[in-house]
């Protein structure tokens, strides 16, 4: 049965609400109650064993009640059940399936070679002692030229955020996008002033730095993703909202999850060894650490 036909049939059996009662309230509470019934039935199965638990027929009935309340609630809220189902699958695909290789965009294709992110390069993180006694991290490109300014963690507590450019390089390697990396590698798209301003300029850089700080705050409470299989969906949703007006918005939450975990794998190695080399490979979507 098609979901649209099911919804039409379900609405015909919906009883009118009593005078003065919100018509949405009954199916809403019914949905909560029936969802609890499914959970309770499965709880008995776990507690007493499969033989003593509910049969498939019972579970089918309980889930059927959940579906009926979902369909009628959607009707009362002016929503289409088929549209809800399609949107749910699209959301799941965005969250759990990375963009296929043949659909990955090249954001700088068509620009001069010197304005394209290098398909493969190495950036070196070198701890350097300053005359004032502070140790800063100096980044250098493959040709030995400086990449940005020397970095400290800019914090009262040393948390090694000074290695955070690893996150930006991971964005470049996995997403093919990183305004900060374009600045560090001198690959801003200056031949197109509109792109240079909107995609590679100060606002885009501030957004990427904001994402880096936001994720780091979360990661610091989760062992910096060591051994983590996945990242909180709400965090990825926030990143999606932050980048909604930028070219990277065409990529998926699963792509961001891969970029973030790739960056933190590299960051943990830099932290462990006090520096080192990060090799970017945009074609393989990898960021490989090499000891100093």
| Gyration radius (Cα) of the chain, Å | 26
Q: Tokens for 163?
A: 């290695």
Q: How many domains does the chain have?
A: 2
Q: pLDDT value at position 94? A: 85
Kindly state whether residues 48 and 141 are assigned to the same domain: no
Residues whose CB falls within 8 Å of the CB of residue 225, separated by 6 or more in sequence, listed in order = 219, 231, 260, 261, 264
Q: Tokens for 266?
A: 């590299």
Kindly state whether residues 75 and 169 are assigned to the same domain: no
CA 23/CA 207 separation, integer angstroms: 44
Q: Is residue 104 part of a domain?
A: no
Q: pLDDT value at position 55? A: 78
Nearest CA among 1, 5, 3, 24 for reference residue 14: 24
Q: pLDDT value at position 148? A: 94
Q: pLDDT value at position 53? A: 67
Q: Is residue 62 part of a domain?
A: yes
CA 116/CA 241 separation, integer angstroms: 26
Q: Is residue 163 part of a domain?
A: yes
**Strand partners of residue 21:** none
Task: Indicate the DSSP class of residue 151.
Answer: B
Task: Indicate the DSSP class of residue 172.
Answer: I
Q: Is residue 115 part of a domain?
A: yes
CA 234/CA 241 separation, integer angstroms: 11
Q: Are 223 and 264 in contact (CB under 8 A)?
A: no
Position 197 pLDDT exceeds 90: yes
Q: Are 176 and 105 in contact (CB under 8 A)?
A: yes
CB atoms within 10 A of CB 43: 13
CA 249/CA 178 separation, integer angstroms: 12
Name the residue range of residue 90's domain.
Answer: 3-96
What pLDDT digit, counting tens, does each position of 30-78 carry?
999 999 999 988 888 888 876 666 778 888 999 999 999 999 999 999 9
Kindly state whether residues 45 and 145 are assigned to the same domain: no
Kindly state whether residues 146 and 216 are assigned to the same domain: yes
Position 1 pLDDT exceeds 90: no
| Angle made by CA atoms 193, 198, 204, in degrees to the nearest 5 | 135
């Amino acid at each position: 049965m098609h979901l649209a036909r099911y919804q039409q049939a379900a609405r015909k059996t919906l009883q009118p609400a009593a005078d003065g009662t919100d018509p949405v309230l009954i199916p809403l509470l019914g949905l909560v109650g029936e969802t609890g019934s499914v959970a309770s039935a499965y709880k008995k199965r776990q507690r007493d064993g499969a033989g003593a638990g509910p049969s498939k027929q019972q579970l089918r009935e309980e889930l059927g009640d959940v579906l009926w309340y979902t369909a009628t609630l959607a009707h009362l809220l002016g929503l289409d059940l088929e549209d809800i189902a399609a949107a749910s699958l699209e959301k799941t695909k965005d969250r759990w399936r990375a963009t296929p290789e043949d659909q990955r965009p090249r954001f700088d294709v068509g620009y001069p070679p010197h304005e394209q992110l290098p398909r493969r390069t190495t950036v070196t993180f070198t701890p350097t002692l300053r005359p004032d006694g502070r140790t800063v991290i100096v980044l250098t490109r493959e040709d030995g030229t400086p990449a940005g300014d020397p970095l400290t963690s800019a914090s009262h507590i040393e948390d090694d955020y000074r290695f955070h450019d690893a996150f930006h390089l991971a964005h470049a390697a996995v997403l093919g996008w990183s305004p900060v990396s374009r600045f560090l590698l001198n690959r801003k798209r200056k031949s197109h002033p509109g792109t240079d301003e909107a995609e590679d300029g100060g606002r885009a850089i501030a957004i990427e730095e904001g994402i880096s700080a936001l994720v780091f705050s979360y990661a610091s409470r989760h062992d910096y993703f060591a051994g983590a299989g996945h990242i909180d969906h709400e965090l990825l949703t926030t990143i999606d909202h932050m980048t909604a007006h930028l070219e990277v918005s065409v990529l998926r939450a699963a792509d961001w999850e891969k970029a973030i975990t790739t960056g933190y794998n590299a960051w943990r190695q830099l932290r462990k060894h006090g520096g080192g080399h990060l090799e970017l490979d945009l074609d393989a979507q990898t960021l490989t650490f090499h000891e100093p």
